[in-house]
Structure 1
Amino acid sequence: MRRRRSQQAFREKKEDAHRINHRIRVDEVRLVGDNVETDIYPIKKARELAEEQGLDLVEISPKANPPVCKIMDYKKFLYEQKKRDKALKAKATKVTIKEIRFGPNTDEHDYEFKKKHAEKFLQDGAKLKAYVFFKGRSIVYKDKGQILLLRLATDLEEYGKVEQMPKLEGKRMTMFIAPKKGK
């Protein structure tokens, strides 16, 4: 029995982020809104005004002195707020990172082929992680790997900007390029 009550109380708290109508426990409130005159009203009068209009009295700012309330359709307000949150979430972009791998001795044709893919990735709005992988003793060609990545950065200058310069981490030399905003 006790557990059921606590779950029900939790559900009510989760459901109503604002105090409405008879849950507002103060003597007087500052009433704001389009359809009322902004002023300080006794709680009973504020509730009557809300009932006359067939709407809810919603506590907007409980920490103010006196608390600020507004007369509105609370369910409609919650619906529009959910809709706004959903739209904002949809607009938030997910960053995708595409990888391109080179060897320290990559020849010209392979380089051009991979550069074209890199251009396409940046134009599509994805970040690019280009890296040179050193196998075995090829680590002695660190300078070749760095030159290769810097050449790629200059070739892709019009599509993106370098976020991280070539950096050697273990057997990989990595560089990040972010797409330009205008593209």
Structure 2
Amino acid sequence: MNVPLGISAIIWKSGKVLCRYFEKEQINFAGKKVIELGSGTGLVGILAVLLGGDVTLTDQPNALDQIEYNIAKNIPKNIIQRAKVSALVWGKDHSQFPTDYDFILGSDIIYKPLEFHLLIRTLQHLSNQSTVIYLCSKMREYRGAIDFYEKLLPQYFDSKIVHSVPDEQINLYKITKKEMGVL
């Protein structure tokens, strides 16, 4: 692979924290429809496959070959068909994806304030009332993470911190779509 991957080539601490949480809490993805946003190396999505999920790992088009390579190296052949890789540009092509995911996963995807509204639009499309969203982030104030989780996200979703690593400034949020009243 000679494509410059930049931040997509890094295994971020937030991804490791999210994986450890799934292990500690014994989250079972068996038979569940899962999508990972901003998969990067695919660490979180690969674990979700290994824990039984039917997982779509998404990222920018230039990161897809890396994700496919990592899937091939880390998922046994007898279950590899449960992993799918797709390009997903937030707010642009999300409508090509279904709206019935059981889980939406993301780690360290909150760092470009100009794209926050695109991420919200994508999360709204991909989720329904029963979807559980896990987002794990390093709380970089200068990257807008605090504003995203404390101001923007609560307008559309209910969320709570279910795990944190204070010395790393990492929070893991469990998020669900708000019930919208009928007029």
**What TM bracket, shorter-length normalisation?**
0.3 to 0.5
Rg: which structure is higher? 1
Q: What TM-score, normalized to structure 2? A: 0.32
Q: What TM-score, normalized to structure 1? A: 0.32
Higher-RCO chain (CA-CA 8 Å, sequence separation at least 6): 2
